[in-house]
Amino acid sequence: MEQRNERIQADQIFRRFDPRLYQIASLSTLLLYGLVWLHFDVSLWQIVITLGTALLTQYAATCLYKLPSFDPRSPLISALSLCLLLRTNDLVVAALAAFIAIASKFVIRWKEKHLFNPTNLALVVVLASGLGWISPGQWGQVAWFGFLIACLGSLVVTRAARADVTLGFLGFYVGLLFARALWLGDPLTIPLHQLESGALLIFAFFMISDPKTTPDTRTGRIIFALIVALAALYIQFGLFRPNGPLWGLIGCAPMVPLLDHLLPGSRYDWSKPSSGRSSNPVVNPVLVPLSLSVPQQRRFS
């Protein structure tokens, strides 16, 4: 009995750990490693401006929408991802990308959920405007493998609450990529090389897995992962555009409200990660006052 209570207590402590802290640590470590050892082609000024703009935008929105408190975790993840992926010769563009990423969470919404992943939207806007580019092959095999291990560790930290959409997308995308190579008679080294992309890892573990922009139910997320994988491969090899996953996600994001309508489930809460279940139409009147008292800040996280 004592051991069981200890396990329950440890599990409760683990669940109270915000997985965003692990994500921030992973992204920060990779960025530092890239700057010091790999000499990433990104200036310190771009990093400072990107981080500062993201945090200032979050703070301004916190005041504008009269949220209970300022929460830096979500904007830090978006800003660090932009620092790792976005390359531009203009610091104004870096600031604009950070502003678009954070502001979109508050402006582009559908039924208390932001529609687009912040980092994904900012990158697509900059790419479409021709003011910047993405550098996915700057890491090398050692950094890529190390970051892959860190990303897989994030699935453990999140208690597999949204691992289904990440693993689903990677399963569909990798499977279709190898199937295409076999169909064309290409050597398997080609799809293996295509998978060694830092942008793909950040996309799979930090963009498409965003619990605030994915369907509420597991079935909906698996369907969504398949649709995004198909769209990404079509854009990459059918339309011959690079960064297929980024364009695929931005194009498929408006389908999330439809999937939530067809497959209703519980909304994700960072403080209580869950895989999502079908909504119960029976409302407990005792719990209604509690639901109304939930801080609105969580809706914008």
Burial readout 5-29 (b: 16 or more C-beta within 10 A, e: otherwise): eeeeeeeeeeeeebbbebbbebbee
CA distances from 28 to 10, 134, 147, 178 (A): 27, 18, 11, 32
Residue 236 CA, chain-centre distance (Å), reads 20
Burial class (CB in 10 A: 0-12, 13-18, 19+), 58: buried
Taking the C-alpha atoms of residue 79 and residue 49, their distance in angstroms, rounded to an integer, is 10
Q: What is the DSSP string of 238-294?
A: IS--S-HHHHHHHHHTTHHHHHHHHS--PPP-TTS-----PPPS---TTTHHHHHTS
Q: Which residue has the higher pLDDT, 243 or 1?
A: 243
Listed in sequence order, the residues at least 6 apart from 48 whose beta carbon sits closer than 8 Å to its beta carbon are none
* 108-123: pLDDT as tens digits: 988 778 899 999 999 9
Asked whether the beta carbons of 165 and 216 are under 8 A apart, the reply is: no
**Tokens linked to 134:** 């993405």
* 189-238: pLDDT as tens digits: 999 888 888 888 889 888 888 888 899 999 999 999 999 999 999 999 99
* 267-279: pLDDT as tens digits: 766 555 555 554 4
Q: What is the DSSP string of 22-71?
A: HHHHHHHHHHHHHHHTS--S--HHHHHHHHHHHHHHHHHHHHHTT-SS--
147 band by pLDDT with thresholds 50, 70 and 90? confident
Question: What is the three-class DSSP state of 110?
Answer: strand
Mean pLDDT (whole number) for 149-178: 80
Mean pLDDT (whole number) for 54-73: 93
87 band by pLDDT with thresholds 50, 70 and 90? very high
Asked whether the beta carbons of 122 and 75 are under 8 A apart, the reply is: no
Asked whether the beta carbons of 157 and 14 are under 8 A apart, the reply is: no
Closest CA to 81 of 20, 131, 38, 31: 31
Asked whether the beta carbons of 248 and 235 are under 8 A apart, the reply is: yes
Closest CA to 77 of 198, 201, 202, 188: 202
Domain ranges of the chain: 140-280
DSSP annotation of 235: I
